[in-house]
A and B are shown apart, each in its own frame.
Chain A
Amino acid sequence: MRRSKMILLSAILLVSTAVVSAAEDASYDGSVSLEGRVTDQTGQSAFLNQYEDMDDAVFGNFWANYYKGKAYLELEGRNFSLTDQSYGLKVGRYETFKFSFSYDEVPHKISLGARTFYHGIGSNTLTYSAVDRQKDTDTELIPNVSTDPATWSVFNYEEQRRTFGVGLELSLNSPYFFRVKFTEDKQEGTRPAGVVTGVFPDVAEYMLSAMGNVVELPKPVDYKTQNTVLEAGYRSERVVFKLSGMLSDFKNENKELSWRNPYVTTEELHEIISLPPDNDYYKVAGQVSVQLPYRSALAVRGGYSKGTSESLIDPTIPVSTDGFPPYFLPFLPLESPIYGTRELDLSTNRFEGVTSRANASVAFSSRPTKSLDIRAYYKYFERDSDSSVITFSTTDPEDPTNTGTVQNHPYGFEKHNAGIDLGYWLPMATKAMLGFDWSDIGRDELPIAESTTDREVWFELLNRHFEACTLRLKYAHLDRSSDFKLGDIGESLIDPISIKRFVRYYDSTDKNRDAVR
């Protein structure tokens, strides 16, 4: 609230400046409206209200403009009292400064009146009350949850986003400019998540299946994102130069969701799914564009960004006393197991995530004659990861002397993209265009294909003679090639794994495509 008052005071000061400085006649107009609404919604009401508040309500809108010479004030409010209300204030003086304030609420409804046997909806712990069953007595193969819907929780899968922003731009009647903008975005609500639960391991002599059953979990959403953007530069008719920086901070109130497994009926067993981690991000970028002779222009841009996160990894997993998890039993058990946890051996339990992105691009455009235009461009983009590599070790429950390890693989790639376009104006507002685009992606240590190269040639006819429509006809030929690594996998074609010789990801397969549109 104190922050809002300070911002309002700032706005008043700026408005005063605008009013005092002006010399010409003032003009003002505005409107306030109040409406009442009664709605009758049947059927998929969540989709009717997906991003809007369509409930019965009294609500209003207002706007007000004040202009005096080069100074202005514009105020707007929509749907006040509803959950999709928004407000905006702009104050400024042309060629001198601009101040803006905004507040916006966005509902997002997915499903209304959902039901679950879980309690604790909206929190990071989902549980239910049940009487534990005796081991080896469950022959009905149903979870031990209440079958009376009256005891279930009723809730909505929905989120509410609230965004607040302030910004200031100064140009001070000079070619230099400076901008700062701050936004805070809060999201609260519930989203659906699915999780595999296992195959009734409480039942003796139960035939296992692949992965077991699944249950839907209402996942809590409680995010806050704060972005600060700074920009400064110089602008003239010939040269525009800009430096920009962004700082972003993301916070999640819930790092994990604990849920009771309903397919373990002889005792209360809680498991965990991970939720998005807190993270920080920054980006710096620079851009310059120059107007050249012969109606040409050159633009160069470069940027670098880095994102970090830090988390402690839980080394425990739930297992039965036989050493197996609740959801995988390779043998027909003679009796139901008792559950506990197993400690995995981690090389480190602190994960420090570091990803960076770098890009550089240059583009040239020219109209050497009245009818001819040319574009050429090159872009480089790289994504790199210096995140922690953690090794997870544990022993095989069937053979305690056998230790298995897995390790995460931070991923990186780099992409080169270049091309040239030519366009020529023909009579009757018709333009013929010809272009060539080349791109090459190199991926770090992917077992299937480490690089993919695309070459595309296209030809297009455009006609803007008719006022009512624009006509376009385009032909494009794409040739894709990749260094597929699994062409000889498997000892022979009888070896099951040799099937991998004949299937490829869509973006790592050779392709020859002609498209007309």
Chain B
Amino acid sequence: MRIGRYLSVFAFLPFLISLAGPYCCNSWASDADDILGNSTCVECHEGQAETYKRSLHGRALGAKKEMKDRYGCEFCHGPGAKHAEDESAESIVSFERKRGTQAEVKNAACLKCHSASDEVALWAMGQHEQFDVSCSDCHSVHADSKPHANPSDRCLVCHKDIRSEIRRLSHHPVKENKVSCNDCHNSHGAMARAMVRDDSINELCYKCHAEKRGPFLWEHVPVEENCANCHNPHGSNRPGLLKARVSTLCQDCHNGVSHSSLPYDQTSAFGSTRSDPASRLLVGRSCLNCHTSIHGSMHSDNAFFLESSGRFLNR
């Protein structure tokens, strides 16, 4: 692989462009008479000023003359003149949830800069905006040196049903910090349902599970339509993230004729003998005992010997 060599070339580019002038998202309007400047804010909020210095915003924007002098705190919190007079939380834009500032107002402060981002570009289309979630519900600008929210901590505070699902027997390794909510979902908004990061569920899953991509000689229609027809990606008490037990799940569709419609119960499973091996239909992997290539098969097929059938996903 020549990846390393190409990356080395890229590494030299920053040397050449590091003297480029700063690009900032916008030029912000201001009501100059109501702007007091950072020094006034720090008189009362010295602690917040200290934490801000160490924060990512403080480091990234601290070099800006405007931010240092006149548009520091008030760029996000709004003009401070009225707040300086009455010292109430309602006279300033407060990002604490208990202060009751509307989410739209809080978000507008963040979006002044961060709307110029492809990650946040679809914020208006997403469910979080629709349900009045504010940026500060997940991100803590002052407290953290890295305000990127940790999805495993932040998402699951609200999405408690998902929190219970990822703790089930079969789950993606979210709580083990190997998979993040953000790997599949764009919490800042997306056009797809459930704000997934791709145009379809299958294309999203194939990024990590390319062995399911095919194309296969013999396809299984529900597999090709939507992985979520059979799987719950957050977690399940059945193996393989399946929504239901194998025979029950398969019988959602295969409930017509032949053995697929049989009511597999204790008499057909545990009352069988070696010469009448009906138990394979229920115990172990149930339908998958025989139909092993359930996601698709590359095996040949024929009209008369069904057991060695690629068409029925047996091989």
Q: Is the CB of B219 within 8 A of A411?
A: yes
Let me know if B116 and A237 touch, CB within 8 A. Answer: yes
A233 at the interface (CB under 8 A from B): yes
Residues of A within 8 A of B97 (CB): 467
Once the chains are docked, how many angstroms separate the CA of A47 from the CA of B217?
35
Given known contacts A84-B178, A104-B178, is B206 in contact with A281 (CB within 8 Å)? Answer: yes
**Residue B310 lies at the interface, judged by CB distance under 8 Å to chain A:** yes
Report B-chain residues with C-beta under 8 Å of the C-beta of A279.
210, 213-215
Contact A353 B217 (CB under 8 A): yes
Of the listed residues A4, A51, A328, A377, the one surrounded by the most CB atoms of chain B closer than 10 A to its CB is: A51
Which B residues are CB-close (under 8 A) to A287?
118, 121
**Which one, B31-39, B42-50, B59-67, B72-80, is touching chain A?**
B59-67
Residue of B nearest to A297 (CB): B124
Residues of B within 8 A of A248 (CB): 206-207, 210
> In the complex, how many angstroms separate the beta carbon of B294 from the nearest chain A beta carbon?
10
Cβ proximity bits B125-149 to A, threshold 8 Å, 1 near / 0 not: 1000111100000000000011000
Complex interface residues of chain A between 453 and 510 (CB less than 8 A to chain B) = 462, 464, 467, 470, 496-497, 499-500, 503, 505-507
Verify B22–A367 contact, CB threshold 8 A.
no
Name, among B14, B176, B191, B314, the residue most crowded by chain A CB atoms within 10 Å (CB to CB): B14
Instruction: Let me know if A207 is at the binding interface, CB within 8 A.
Output: yes
Which residues of chain B come closer than 8 Å to A212, judged between CB atoms? 277, 307
Interface-centre pick from B63, B259, B300 (highest chain A CB count, 10 A): B300
Q: Give A209 to B19 CA distance when docked, in angstroms.
A: 80
Cβ distance B196 to chain A, nearest Cβ, rounded Å:
12
Q: Are B200 and A381 neighbours in the complex by a CB distance under 8 Å? A: yes
Instruction: Determine how close the nearest CB of chain B comes to the CB of A182; give it in whole angstroms.
Output: 6
Cβ contact within 8 Å between A404 and B259? no
Task: List chain B residues, Cβ under 8 A from A299.
Answer: 121-122, 124-125, 191
A104 to B310, CA, bound (A): 36
Q: Give Cα A496–Cα B306 distance, bound, in whole angstroms.
A: 21
CA distance A324 to B98 in the complex (A): 76
Contact of A96 (CB < 8 Å), options: B17, B145, B307: B17
Which residues 281-303 in B have Cβ within 8 Å of A in the complex?
Answer: 284-285, 288-290, 292-293, 295-303
Given A194-B284, A357-B200, A383-B224: A95 touches B23 (CB 8 Å cut-off)? yes
Q: Contacts of A289 on B, CB cut-off 8 Å?
A: 121-122, 125
Q: A363: CB under 8 A from chain B?
A: yes
Contact partners of B275 in chain A: CB under 8 A = 141, 207, 209
**A391-417 to B contact mask, C-beta < 8 Å, 1/0:** 011101100000011101011010000
Q: Do B124 and A223 touch (CB < 8 A)?
A: no
A29 to B263, CA, bound (A): 64
- A470 & B121 in contact (Cβ 8 Å cutoff): no
The chain A residue sitting closest to B115, CB to CB, is A237
User: Contacting B298 at CB < 8 Å: which of A96, A207, A313?
Assistant: A313
Docked-complex contact B124 and A47, CB < 8 angstroms: no
Mark interface residues in B50-92 (1 if CB within 8 Å of A CB, else 0): 0000100001101100000000000000000000000000000
Contact A233 B118 (CB under 8 A): yes
- With A353-B217, A404-B302: A506-B125 Cβ-Cβ less than 8 Å: no
A271 touches B17 (CB 8 A): no
Verify if B104 is at the interface (C-beta below 8 Å from A): yes
A505 touches B199 (CB 8 A): no
Interface residues of A in 227-247 (CB under 8 A from B): 227, 231, 233, 235-237, 240, 242
Q: Taking the complex as formed, is A173 at the interface, i.e. its CB lies under 8 A from any CB of chain B?
A: yes
Contact of A3 among B3, B255, B310 (CB under 8 A): B3
In whole angstroms, how far apart are the Cα atoms of A4 and B8 in the complex? 12
Q: Are A51 and B176 in contact (CB under 8 A)?
A: yes
Q: Does A123 contact B (CB under 8 A)?
A: no
Within 8 Å CB of B176, what residues of A? 51-52, 84, 106
- Residues of B within 8 Å of A355, CB to CB, are 214-215, 224
Residues of B within 8 A of A192 (CB): 285
By the criterion CB–CB under 8 Å, are B3 and A503 in contact? no
Contacts of B63 in A (CB 8 A): 23-24, 69-70
Bound Cα distance A254, B259 (Å): 32
In the complex, the answer to whether A470 meets B25 with C-beta atoms within 8 Å is no
- B255, B256, B274, B311: most-surrounded residue (chain A CB, <10 A): B256
Residue among A6, A78, A141, A242 facing the most chain B CB atoms (10 A cut-off):
A6
Q: How far is the CA of A115 from the CA of B31 in the complex (A)?
A: 76
Alpha-carbon gap, A365 to B98, bound state (A) = 28
Say how far B258's CB is from chain A's closest CB, in angstroms.
10
B87 to chain A minimum Cβ distance, whole angstroms, is: 22
Among candidates A72, A106, A497, residue contacting B257 with C-beta atoms closer than 8 Å: A497
- Indicate the size class of the contact surface on chain A: 35 or more
A3-B1, A10-B8, A213-B280 given as contacts; is B214 within 8 A of A375 (CB)? no
Q: Which of A14, A20, A69, A212 has the most CB of B within 10 A?
A: A14
Q: Within 8 Å CB of B200, what residues of A? A: 357, 359, 381
Contact yes or no, B59 A214, CB < 8 A = no
CB proximity of A6 to chain B, nearest CB, Å: 2
* Shortest beta-carbon distance from B7 to chain A in Å: 4
Measured CA separation A453–B125 after assembly (Å): 24
Bound Cα distance A7, B18 (Å) = 20
Q: 1/0 per residue B238-251: CB within 8 Å of A?
A: 00000000000000
Q: How far is B226's CA from A357's CA once the two chains are assembled, in angstroms?
A: 13
- What 0/1 pattern do residues 81 to 99 of A give for CB contact below 8 A with B? 0001010000001111101
Q: Which chain A residues lie closer than 8 Å to B10 at the CB level? A: 10, 99, 168, 170
Q: Which of A35-43, A128-136, A304-312 contacts B (4 or more CB under 8 A)?
A: A304-312
Bound-complex Cα distance A133 to B315 (A): 27
Q: Are B292 and A317 in contact (CB under 8 A)?
A: no
Closest to A395 in B: B304
- Bound complex: CA of A47 vs CA of B176, how far in Å? 13
Counting chain A CB atoms within 10 Å of each CB, which of B1, B215, B304 scores highest?
B215
How long is the Cα–Cα vector from A240 to B307 in the complex, in angstroms? 55
CB atoms of A272 and B122 under 8 A apart:
no
State whether the Cβ of A338 lies closer than 8 Å to any Cβ in chain B. Answer: no
Alpha-carbon separation in the docked complex, A36 to B24 (Å)? 48
- The answer to whether B300 touches A277, judged by C-beta atoms less than 8 angstroms apart, is no
- C-alpha gap A20/B19 in the complex (Å): 11
* Extra A-B contacts (5), CB below 8 Å, given A11-B11, A363-B125: A185-B208, A273-B293, A281-B206, A353-B214, A354-B215
Chain A to chain B contacts (Cβ below 8 Å), 19 pairs: A9-B8, A17-B14, A21-B18, A47-B169, A51-B176, A84-B176, A86-B178, A171-B23, A194-B292, A216-B285, A275-B298, A276-B212, A309-B216, A325-B307, A353-B216, A353-B217, A385-B215, A421-B130, A462-B132
| B residues adjacent to A (C-beta < 8 A) | 1, 3-5, 7-8, 10-15, 17-26, 54, 59-60, 62-63, 97-98, 104, 112, 115-118, 121-122, 124-125, 129-132, 145-146, 158, 169, 173, 176-178, 191-192, 199-200, 203, 206-208, 210-219, 221-222, 224-225, 229, 252-253, 255-257, 259, 261, 274-277, 280, 284-285, 288-290, 292-293, 295-308, 310-311, 314-315
Closest 3 CB pairs of A and B: A6-B4, A404-B303, A353-B215
